Amino acid sequence: MRRMFLVGAVTAIVTAASACSVSTGPAGSSSDKGDKDGQVVIGFSQVTQQSPFYVQLKNGAQQAADKAGAKLLFADANGDVTKQNNDIQDLVTRGVDVLLINPVDPKGVAPGLAAAKAAKIPVITVDRPVPSGATSHVGRDNVKMGRLVGERVAKALGPAGGKVIEIQGDAGGAVARDRSKGFGEGVASNSKIRVVKGPYSDYIRAKAVTAMQDLLQANPDVKAVYAHNDDMAVGALQVLRENRRTDVKVAGVDGLMEAVKAIPSGQYVATALNDPIGMGQLAADTAIKAERGEQVAQYVDAGTGLVDPENAAQYAGDSVFARASSS
């Protein structure tokens, strides 16, 4: 009984703390539960909007929800796991039918997952998986993406190899860990390549710019830079060009169009496709299927591929990220 009282008290506190934390997509209003008219209401708790990838991920989910006649309620955790748990509790309280969650911290979001489970609301994770508690995860093979880019960097450096600086994503994150692992596998065939771990820059360009300024001073013999996303890689490229270091190769992940268009010039050698619009659409479609009781796979792979000088032209376009459907 004491445990039940404590759980109830904590839930009440979290609900109060999360007031006004959720915004409604253009198709919806503040009235939530869709059972009365058959409209599916999706709650989407996003890790942050401080990266173009996450902005486009939300846009993809919104597009799919609009197409299906569903309502999308959106919450931006702004990189704060406590706020994310509050946001999820708020969405649960508002009676959403299904939850999409891109976790700030896969383990730290456990209270939010517990709240969803208690309310019998299915959870679909997107981009970043959680250890347990989700019906399905929609994402991509980040080890494979890192490996593809690593192999291409090794090819660009040739037999001489050299020092490669790795600008990392977020500390403890599964995506950062997997992209690092894959890259290490990709360059492992050349024993003369030495990877130096740079700081965590949270996938944000401005942080990568600051980091690269220090890294370049400390590592004047650097031959290549690999960043866990293109936004950080483009930031590193900016610093290199400002310092007239056009001899240093650069590579990233995500297929950011700015990076894709830089590839033909020669210094930016590769990126891996991680189309956020397509992944957001797939995540929302999977959430709708789960809410309707349809069988969904535990892992839904959105697919990837390498973009390098040989095929960059076919992916160039006006979108923010290269569309995976172009392959």
282-290: average pLDDT: 98
User: Higher model confidence: residue 293 or residue 22?
Assistant: 293
Residue-wise pLDDT for 51-106, tens only, equals 889 999 999 999 999 999 999 999 999 999 999 999 999 999 999 999 999 999 99
- pLDDT over 70 at 156, yes or no: yes
Q: DSSP alpha helices (H): ranges in 188-311?
A: 205-218, 230-242, 257-262, 276-291
Q: Is residue 240 within 8 Å of residue 248, measured between CB atoms?
A: yes
264-283: average pLDDT: 97
pLDDT, position 23? 46
What pLDDT does 21 receive?
A: 41
Higher pLDDT, 327 or 161: 161
Query: What pLDDT does residue 51 have?
Result: 84
Instruction: Specify the pLDDT at position 13.
Output: 41
- Work out whether strand 136-139 and strand 123-126 pair parallel, antiparallel, or are unpaired: parallel
N-to-C CA span, the chain: 58
**pLDDT class for 324, splitting at 50, 70, 90?**
confident
Contacts of 323 (CB under 8 A, 6+ apart): 275, 277, 278, 315, 317
- Looking at residue 37, its pLDDT comes to 64
Specify the range with the lowest mean pLDDT, choosing from 2-16, 231-245, 259-273, 310-324: 2-16
* pLDDT attached to residue 11: 45
4 pLDDT exceeds 50?
no
Do the domains 2-139+277-296 and 142-273+307-326 sit in the same CATH topology, yes or no? yes
Q: State residue 31's pLDDT score.
A: 44
At 327 the pLDDT is 38
- 263: number of CA atoms within 13 Å, CB side? 30
Tokens of 252: 């990233």
Q: List Cβ neighbours of 71 (8 Å cut-off, separation of 6 or more).
A: 24, 25, 27, 28, 29, 32, 34, 39, 40, 41, 42, 65
Report whether 307 contacts 260 (CB < 8 A).
yes
pLDDT band at 9 (very low <50, low <70, confident <90, very high): very low
Q: How confident is the model at residue 7 (pLDDT cuts 50, 70, 90)?
A: very low
- Cα 277 versus chain centre, distance: 11
Q: Find out whether 267 and 16 touch, Cβ atoms under 8 Å.
A: no
Q: Looking at the domain that runs over 142-273+307-326, which CATH code has it been given?
A: 3.40.50.2300
**Poorest-pLDDT segment among 134-143, 172-181, 299-308:** 172-181
| Tens-place pLDDT, residues 251-261 | 999 999 999 99
Nearest one of 103, 120, 18, 28 to 72, comparing CA atoms: 28
Query: Cα 173 to chain center, whole Å?
Result: 10
Residue 29: pLDDT over 70: no
pTM for the full predicted model: 0.80
Fill in the amino acid letter for 147.
R
Q: How confident is the model over 162-185, as a mean pLDDT?
A: 95
As given in the structure block, the two tokens for residue 141 are 């093979």
State yes or no: pLDDT of 114 exceeds 80: yes
281 or 23: which carries more pLDDT confidence?
281
E strands, the chain, are: 23-24, 41-46, 71-76, 98-101, 123-126, 136-139, 162-168, 193-200, 222-227, 249-251, 268-272, 299-301, 306-307
Beta bridge partners of 217: none
Q: Where are the domains of the chain?
A: 2-139+277-296, 142-273+307-326
In the predicted model, is pLDDT for residue 275 greater than 70? yes
Amino acid in the structure at residue 241: R
Cβ contact 32:62 at 8 Å: no
Query: Residue 298 corresponds to which amino acid?
Result: Q
Q: Which class does domain 2-139+277-296 fall in?
A: alpha beta
pLDDT at 8 over 90: no
> SS3 for 136-166, per residue?
EEEECCHHHHHHHHHHHHHHHHCCCCEEEEE
- Reply yes or no on whether the pLDDT at 6 is more than 70: no
What pLDDT, on the 0 to 100 scale, is given for residue 325?
Answer: 61
Quickly state the pLDDT bin for 172 (edges 50, 70, 90).
confident
User: If you average pLDDT over residues 155-161, what whole number do you get?
Assistant: 97
Place of tokens 């890294």: 215
Closest CA to 273 of 286, 289, 285, 255: 255
Q: What angle do CA 75, 77, 83 make, to 5 degrees?
A: 105
